[in-house]
Chains A and B, each alone.
Chain A
Amino acid sequence: MIRLEKRTAPSQFWTYAAPLLAVMLTMACGGLLFAALGKDPFVTIRTIFWDPLFSEFAWYYRPQLLIKAAPLVLIAIGLSFGFRAGVWNIGAEGQYILGAICGAAVGLAFYPTESVFILPLMIMAGALGGWAWAMIPGVLRVKFGTNEILVSLMLVYVAQNLLASMALGVMRNPDAMGFPGSRNLARYPSATSWINESAGLHWGVVFAFIAVIFAYITLSRHIFGFQVRLSGQSPRAARFAGVNPGLLVLICMGISGALAGLAGLFEVAGPSGLISIDFNAGYGFTAIIVAFLGRLHPVGILLAAGLMALTYIGGEIAQSNLRLPAAAIQVLQGMLLFFLLAVDVLTHYRVRIGTRRIA
């Protein structure tokens, strides 16, 4: 008989081993799935997880990994603060959009002036836009006790409509013959977030690394990190320790909103280049998976974002080289989260085989 026995403290070993086991289980089950689709499972797994890093064309894919992972890291780091404290910001996608809109608005307002101050101003506007959008669910929760999960999620759809109206209206490129979409910021030297395009390096990548270091120090060394962790584990104890719960909610929402806004701004001023109707490609939602896959730990998030980026890029290679359907890649990504949550049981429970002994 197999029983689960609750551990007194989460297992140190499994905290680190569980994600690795989840990845391996995903590869194994993914391999079975690919075999069922009539593809060689080993070739497919190699194409997805190995080729982007070490194949003939890796010089192109490695920078692409940075581009794909940077927004995921930025957003997930922000979310991890809230998720640790029990503040559930599900609407990072909306904050990402608002960051892009506000940042691009500043850039477009200055077009075609050239100045070194334009990009910094855009960065500030982007962060502010995301922050303000996150403050709506934050303030509503603190003042009126609304559910921030619902409010932040619903605001994503509001943001999407705002984005569409921007792309069709005030931000539309006057030279585009009536087609929707703004001017291309990536081609506007003072506004672009690119540092070196062929190396995949833009300011979002730099900020992502800064965010990781900042989050690591805050969470492990600073009193605020302690308060965040305490609030998540025991809200009552946190109150006795002098934590102001309302303020904590606002700070957590603010950090995640501002970082999501930054991610949006760097994307719109670099890889994406322009405000278009469907500019957002789901980074805000994928980042939720990344945050949990990375155990809400800054370094974990960095690795998890890299892994997600790998499945995206490897998945595209597998599609065109091996004719794997796009849906199979999405199933693989879904499996990853599923196995992670399943394997998580081992962190908190001990598996006992045999009958219960009577003490």
Chain B
Amino acid sequence: MTLKTLLAGTGIALALATGAFAQDQTKVGFVYVGPVGDGGWTYEHDQARQAVEAHFGDAVETVFVESVPEGPDAERVMTQMALQGADLIFTTSFGYMDATINVAERFPDVKFEHATGYKTAENVSAYNARFYEGRAIQGHIAGQMTESNIIGYIGSYPIPEVIQGINSAFLHAREVNPDVEFRIIWAYTWFDPAKEAEAASVLIEQGADVILQHTDSTAPQAAAQAAGNVVTFGQASDMAEFGPFPRVSSIIDDWAPYYIERTQAVIDGTWESSNVWHGIPEGMVAIGEITDAVPAEVKASAEAMIEAIRAGEYHPFTGPINYQDGSVWLEDGEVADDETLLGMNFYIEGLTGEIPQ
């Protein structure tokens, strides 16, 4: 055997080895709607991505693209990830739904996971968190923290997920404080610090001394801090840097266990299309530390409510609950079904104003 053939042989062996290695490594892509530094929604998804990397080490490679507009751009980013060999792609915003379905049709071997939508396919799963469970705790605390009895709410888009949150927070605020009122501003954005800060300021000027937000940045927290006597809650992420006041608690989205589980399923070849909606019991929704700015008895009752939800003893939408016009939605003791909640497009009794149509 000459040196030349020997070298060629080693070269081929090496190429085969690296090729095999590349196939062994599972590639997971993430498409983000905001920047990874938003401190809220996208930040938590990216934390979960990092958790996937930490959990699997070299067995998994992750890629991500941030600030992807919902629409044709999202479709291109997903296609590009699939072309580059991604095995599993998480698309983390409601507006990516149609794009995810379209791309999934073209790449039947790639698995897709779409957050907060309702369409699934053979290789597309949907996953969502029961944020309204966290909103119940927020409403419970907020109703007792407010002195002006006006609670401001920054809505993102009038979609069921956001309306569930408003209804849940309002229901539990009214439960502890019959005089409480909600002022709702629709920001029509998930992430726009300038718009969010402006919305917070307007609400504070209207007398709100508690601000709840369904948008992703920390700008409302900063606006509340500047105002001095306004209570806020962390949204999607803990936002602990604004504690112990104005941020008195938070809803934390913990995607890491789900992302690790689904990645493992792809590695094992056991991945199947599913549609999950997890909450406090499964750990997808967590409540951030309730600070000492909240009176001890309020904190204790809030924690009791968290435990009741965790144990499955309490559903935040338990009747009697009426529609906004006073007609009956849920009878005494009746629990809302998931289908109604997933398509929720109505306010409950006591809320003023209309959902933008």
Q: CA A272 – CA B64 in complex, angstroms?
A: 22
Given A273-B98, A279-B71, A325-B66, A320-B159 contact (CB < 8 Å): no
Find chain A residues with CB under 8 A from B345 CB.
178
**Interfacial residues of chain A within 246-299, with CB under 8 A of chain B in the complex:** 267, 271-274, 276-279, 281
Give the size category of A's interface with B: 35 or more
| B29 touches which of A64, A312, A320 (Cβ 8 Å) | A320
Q: CA A267 – CA B95 in complex, angstroms?
A: 17
Find chain A residues with CB under 8 A from B70 CB.
276, 278
* Interface segment, one of A21-29, A140-148, A161-169: A161-169
**Interfacial residues of chain B within 178-204, with CB under 8 A of chain A in the complex:** 188-189
Find chain B residues with CB under 8 A from A272 CB.
71-72
- Contact between A180 and B158, CB atoms less than 8 A apart: yes
**Is B18 among interface residues, defined by CB-CB distance under 8 A?**
no
| A64 touches which of B63, B76, B94 (Cβ 8 Å) | B76
B237 nearest CB across to chain A (Å): 19
Q: CA A177 – CA B188 in complex, angstroms?
A: 19
B185 nearest CB across to chain A (Å): 13
* Interface segment, one of B78-86, B123-131, B209-217: B78-86
- Contact between A164 and B84, CB atoms less than 8 A apart: no
B191 nearest CB across to chain A (Å): 11
**Is A347 among interface residues, defined by CB-CB distance under 8 A?**
no
Find chain A residues with CB under 8 A from B35 CB.
325-327
- Contact between B98 and A320, CB atoms less than 8 A apart: no
Find chain A residues with CB under 8 A from B188 CB.
160, 164, 277-278
What 0/1 pattern do residues 56 to 94 of B give for CB contact below 8 A with A? 000000011111111111011101110110000000001
Find chain B residues with CB under 8 A from A12 CB.
none
B124 nearest CB across to chain A (Å): 16
B120 nearest CB across to chain A (Å): 14
Find chain B residues with CB under 8 A from A320 CB.
29, 63-65, 77, 80-81, 84
Q: CA A346 – CA B273 in complex, angstroms?
A: 60
Find chain A residues with CB under 8 A from B98 CB.
184, 273-274
Q: CA A274 – CA B98 in complex, angstroms?
A: 10
Max chain B CB contacts within 10 Å: which of A172, A177, A271, A313? A177
- Contact between B344 and A281, CB atoms less than 8 A apart: no
- Contact between A177 and B342, CB atoms less than 8 A apart: yes
| B65 touches which of A160, A165, A316 (Cβ 8 Å) | A316
Find chain A residues with CB under 8 A from B67 CB.
326
Find chain B residues with CB under 8 A from A64 CB.
76
**Is A321 among interface residues, defined by CB-CB distance under 8 A?**
yes
| A276 touches which of B77, B95, B342 (Cβ 8 Å) | B95
Find chain B residues with CB under 8 A from A164 CB.
188, 356
- Contact between B72 and A271, CB atoms less than 8 A apart: yes
- Contact between B159 and A321, CB atoms less than 8 A apart: no
| A281 touches which of B29, B71, B79, B84 (Cβ 8 Å) | B71
A31 nearest CB across to chain B (Å): 21
**Is A67 among interface residues, defined by CB-CB distance under 8 A?**
yes
A-B contact pairs, 20 of them (CB 8 A): A60-B79, A67-B72, A164-B356, A168-B158, A172-B357, A177-B160, A178-B343, A184-B98, A274-B98, A276-B95, A277-B157, A278-B70, A281-B72, A281-B73, A312-B73, A317-B80, A320-B65, A320-B77, A320-B80, A325-B35
